[in-house]
Chains A and B, each alone.
Chain A
């Protein structure tokens, strides 16, 4: 009963802040709404007993990623960054089918995943060796290839970011001597 109330509270918070993300005008408020929805989702993970995922949700999404949005946006004068009334309405309409497609894909992947892993198997494992260990064991055995490929993608992204952000050394030649 208590669990249900807490779950309801967090999901309500997640939905409300989700609505806030798309309706609020001031970009800093949007980020704050995003933050609140991310924290609410972490709360849902905690009520579901997935502490590791919840903590990672807090650590990676709510802190590491959202903070860069807020640093960038708070450096921009917000009157300029404000969403105007007519902006991107047409593009939004065009993107609707794509968004729908993505949702369908998500549902298909979810159903496939449910079919692939027999019910209760992972739950039993969690009870036996604990949350963090289960994720480690699965990542480094069954999904090892996917895990490594993802880390490669991240590495490529990082190199790209460094290349783009690099200062051209010849532009800043020391001509004081």
Chain B
């Protein structure tokens, strides 16, 4: 009975830390994004509210919260609100299988910095990630308006295509690691002294394409397409209800997909890797904190890479997006799976 309460206590602490990260940093990332975008376009970005506009997210939040709450005539109120929840909850749940660092001991009690280390963690990531389709489809339908409906159909098509691609793309690392648990995949990479990106460059490129499509980033942000569809399926949403959609799509999903990419291809919390030789840790002076710092550093780097792409590239048309998914990406991933399945036993067994 004693250990049950301890477990519950630890779980609650983990949940609050994860929620704090997901929602707190998620909001703060709007500022990061605007700053990065501004500097890419050679302008200062938000400067007025706080030092270099640091308090801008707070001001934006207050603005969004105090806006008038509009609702489209003949819309479906229940589904309209359900869509918001369906967008937020699955995206946040993905964090529950992201391993932030190696197991450590505190007061003689072993803690894994992962909320639930299920042995099918990776499948859960993609199952929950695909749940985003419902939010999109329902938001478009319940708004009772043409633009959101068209945009939601487009976005649903993109999501469904790339969900298939991303699931096949991660097969390569899964074959190499021989497990579906995110925690064990990282452990395997540490054990084999190998980041999987060295053996799986194709899978990584395809994964990044699919990740961009899933979070609706340029070059795959057809669902937004301001010129044709106003702002996509969120046209009829106002105030904070509108604010939640980009928060979830761009920042929370952006963070989770970057974190999963780090877990799969960059060895999670391990320091810089020299293939088959070992790890070099320039941050050794941080001691037991260094794995966590590495994980955060790598995730941030990937996230900034996504921002860089977003503010540099133009946009694809919808047919080009789905064609590239089915005709280029999917055959590439299948090829990659076959090669990996042939090579993996030769290398390790």
Min CB distance B1 to A, Å, is: 10
Instruction: Please state if A71 and B119 are interface contacts (CB–CB under 8 Å).
Output: no
**Number of residues on chain A facing chain B (CB within 8 A):** 23
A55 to B93, CA, bound (A): 13
Q: Is the CB of A67 within 8 A of B79?
A: no
Complex: A51 Cα to B137 Cα, angstroms: 28
Contact indicator B138/A70 (Cβ below 8 Å): yes
Q: Determine whether the beta carbon of B153 is less than 8 Å from that of A35.
A: no
Looking across the interface, which residue of chain A has its beta carbon closest to that of B149? A74
Find out whether the CB atom of A28 lies under 8 angstroms from the CB atom of B141.
yes
B180 at interface, CB cutoff 8 A: yes
Q: Is B160 an interface residue (CB 8 A)?
A: yes
Bound CA–CA A75/B149 (angstroms)? 8
Q: Out of A62, A130, A132, name the residue touching B127 (CB < 8 Å).
A: A62
**Are B123 and A52 interface neighbours, CB within 8 A?**
yes
**Would you call B123 and A56 a contact (CB within 8 A)?**
yes
Contact of B137 among A56, A59, A71 (CB under 8 A): A71
Can you list 9 contacts pairing A with B, beta carbon distance less than 8 Å? A28-B141, A32-B79, A32-B138, A51-B119, A58-B127, A63-B131, A67-B160, A75-B153, A132-B119
Pair A70/B127 contact, Cβ less than 8 Å: no
A131 at the interface (CB under 8 A from B): yes
B118 & A67 in contact (Cβ 8 Å cutoff): no
Give the CA-CA distance A58 to B82 in the complex, in Å: 19
On chain A, the residues within 8 Å of B153 by CB distance are 71, 75
B47 contacts across to A, CB distance below 8 A? none
Given contacts A51-B120, A59-B126, contact A74 B137 (CB under 8 A): yes
The B111-170 residues at the A interface (CB cut-off 8 A) are 118-120, 123-124, 126-128, 130-131, 133-134, 137-138, 140-141, 149, 152-153, 156, 160, 163, 167
Residues in B whose Cβ lies below 8 Å from that of A54: 120
Mark each residue of chain A from 48 to 92: 1 if its CB lies under 8 Å from any CB of chain B, else 0: 000110111011001110010011001100000000000000000
Q: Scoring A residues 10 to 54 as 1 if CB is less than 8 Å from chain B, else 0, what string do you get?
A: 000000000000000000110010010000000000000001101
Chain A residue nearest to B160 (CB atoms) is A67
Shortest distance between the CB of B179 and any CB in chain A (Å): 8
A131 CB contacts on chain B under 8 angstroms:
119-120
B residues less than 8 Å from A62 (CB atoms):
127, 131
When C-beta atoms are compared, the residue in chain A nearest to B8 turns out to be A2
List residues 277-298 of chain B with CB under 8 A from any CB of chain A.
none
